[in-house]
Amino acid sequence: MPITTTYPGVYIEEIPSGVHTITGVATSIAAFVGWAAQGPVDQAGLVLSFPDYIRQYGGLDSRTLLGYSVSQFFANGGQRAYVVRLVDSTAAPGTTTLTGTGGGFTLTAINPGLWSTNYGVLLKNQAGSTTRFRLQVVYNPSGATAPIVVESFENLSITSPDPQGRYFFDVLSTESNFITILTGGVTGTMTAPPTDITTPQMLLNGVDGNVLQPSSGAFETALNAGPGTVGVHLLEQVDIFNLLCVPGETTPAVLAQLEAFCVGQYAMLIADCASTDTLTTLTNGPNTAMTGAPGTNAAFYFPWVTAPDPLNQNRSADYPPCGFVSGIFARTDASRGVWKAPAGTEASLTGATGVVVPLTDDQNGVLNPQAVNCIRNFAVYGTVVWGARTLQGNDELGSEWKYVPVRRLALYLEQSLLRGTKWVVFEPNDEPLWAQIRLNVGAFMQTLFRQGAFQGSTPQQAYFVKCDSETTTPTDQNLGVVNILVGFAPLKPAEFVVIQIQQMAGQAAS
């Protein structure tokens, strides 16, 4: 606001520049959905490395593909992932009851699974106090030589408020990574804490429940349980994810639902082929539920990949491609940018020893026009991703979203501009605002142009930003609408390289 002039002299007034920097969003945060033996079931857990996944979800498990796919993602260049754990209704957490004078409380594992029966508690009453105690959570699996203390809660009190202690219910129901107090599990009114527990009192009755296998009815029911509650819809609660992987899920109708979910989240579905798919089964395309318009935000990969199994003396086993491919997406984004196709000789699969169905050039040529992205094994380059089409990439469709990098660049622009222009809301809708919008969006697009994200040798050939009285009419202004038109010239991958060779015949020396 203008300053008030009172005395003769020089005044300083800071004038806003109108610059609102637009920062590009992340492009390669993966989300994995599947059954696991432990881990949270009411939220999508963030993991930043495979050791992080081991701590939260138990690591590799021969009963599920989830751990293997997450491991393959990080091995191939992934850096950040969310994990959604699916369980069935028979899974249950372990529990144990501690009884004091006048009442007691029941502790339960923080999430269901047999894992919880490896944990127990120790308790020590505080000397000189009749209300305070220490509780320790210990890891004490069968056959262990001694329990390992993993958490210790000091100065707990059975009374609240207690100026010298912390109320046990508040602490144990919110601060532990392993246990919590069972809902309704506090009974009576304790006048003294439970007696000392010097030998671990273990959690009992924790069970894994039925193992949910991809493409089964129970798995798919848990996968689509309902918006915002469990299953894949837990991802609606995270800030952003870009790649969705459901290892081993191949039912066409379910993949179509997952792709539709990705559209609303500005993400891409990396769809696995079936382990039994062959050249013959895919001659007419991957499936009928996602081709055409519904295939915009999905890419289909064939065949499964062979790799060593650490749980079986590193003998070869077959795995769905989504874990490897999502890591390739992340690695390519980091080294070249989201506008580079995640395919080619640079897109070699770390940890892979081959493919289940080796393909020749001619066989690849049958599948590629059907929007099947092949994974090939070459003598020099190893196992590589050799396709970059979305499920709209069938040649007969002629879609503008034929290629994965084009679609992903558009999603990147949409997300970045969506987040970077929120400051516009409720601003006065007239030329000064439009000029600021052109300045800020144009600066963002210019940065991408300099990085090589668009076609064209000049900014005018590469992109445009239009926001003026033509895009926003007086009627729009009366309705409270400002229209911003952003256009870009995408880089399409050089999918076919044609080398022409001609003899130079009859050339006389001069």
pLDDT exceeds 70 at position 508:
no
pLDDT in tens, 266-310: 999 999 999 999 999 998 888 766 655 578 999 999 999 999 999
Based on the fold, state whether residues 100 and 83 are members of the same structural domain: no
Based on the fold, state whether residues 197 and 314 are members of the same structural domain: no
HSE value, Cβ hemisphere, 13 Å, CA-based, for 109: 28
Q: Which residues, including other chains, have CB under 8 Å from residue 406's CB and lie 6 or more apart?
A: 400, 490, 491, 492
User: Which pLDDT score, from 0 to 100, does residue 478 have?
Assistant: 96
382 in a domain, yes or no?
A: yes
For residue 420, the tally of other CB atoms under 10 A from its CB is: 18
148 in a domain, yes or no?
A: yes
Based on the fold, state whether residues 295 and 277 are members of the same structural domain: yes
pLDDT level of residue 16 (50, 70, 90 thresholds) = confident
Report the interhelical angle of 322-335 vs 66-75 (nearest 10°): 20
423 in a domain, yes or no?
A: no
Number of domains composing the chain: 3
What is the arithmetic mean of pLDDT over 305-322? 97
Based on the fold, state whether residues 399 and 451 are members of the same structural domain: no
Q: What is the C-alpha separation between 424 and 128, in angstroms, rounded?
A: 63
User: Which pLDDT score, from 0 to 100, does residue 4 have?
Assistant: 87
Based on the fold, state whether residues 82 and 133 are members of the same structural domain: no
Based on the fold, state whether residues 265 and 368 are members of the same structural domain: yes
Based on the fold, state whether residues 135 and 50 are members of the same structural domain: no
pLDDT level of residue 235 (50, 70, 90 thresholds) = very high
SS3 of residue 348 by DSSP: strand
pLDDT in tens, 45-77: 999 999 999 999 999 999 999 999 999 999 999
What is the arithmetic mean of pLDDT over 8-21? 88
Which structural domain, as residue segments, surrounds residue 390? 30-87+211-405
Quick one: which of 315, 251, 295, 323 has its CA closest to 403?
A: 295
Based on the fold, state whether residues 243 and 289 are members of the same structural domain: yes
Chosen domain end from 157, 184, 202 = 202
Based on the fold, state whether residues 197 and 216 are members of the same structural domain: no
pLDDT in tens, 375-429: 999 999 999 999 999 999 999 888 999 999 999 999 999 999 999 999 999 999 9
User: Which pLDDT score, from 0 to 100, does residue 228 have?
Assistant: 62
Q: What is the C-alpha separation between 505 and 37, in angstroms, rounded?
A: 72
Chosen domain end from 178, 202, 226 = 202
Based on the fold, state whether residues 336 and 221 are members of the same structural domain: yes
Quick one: which of 83, 105, 84, 106 has its CA closest to 93?
A: 106
CB 240 within 8 A of CB 29: yes
Based on the fold, state whether residues 436 and 506 are members of the same structural domain: yes
Q: What is the CATH number of the domain that holds 401?
A: 3.40.50.11780
User: Which pLDDT score, from 0 to 100, does residue 375 have?
Assistant: 97
Chosen domain end from 348, 371, 405 = 405
Mean pLDDT of the chain: 93
| DSSP for 364-428, written as a single string | HHHHGGGT-EEEEEETTTEEEEE--B-TT--TTT--TT-BHHHHHHHHHHHHHHHHHTGGGTTS-
Based on the fold, state whether residues 345 and 283 are members of the same structural domain: yes
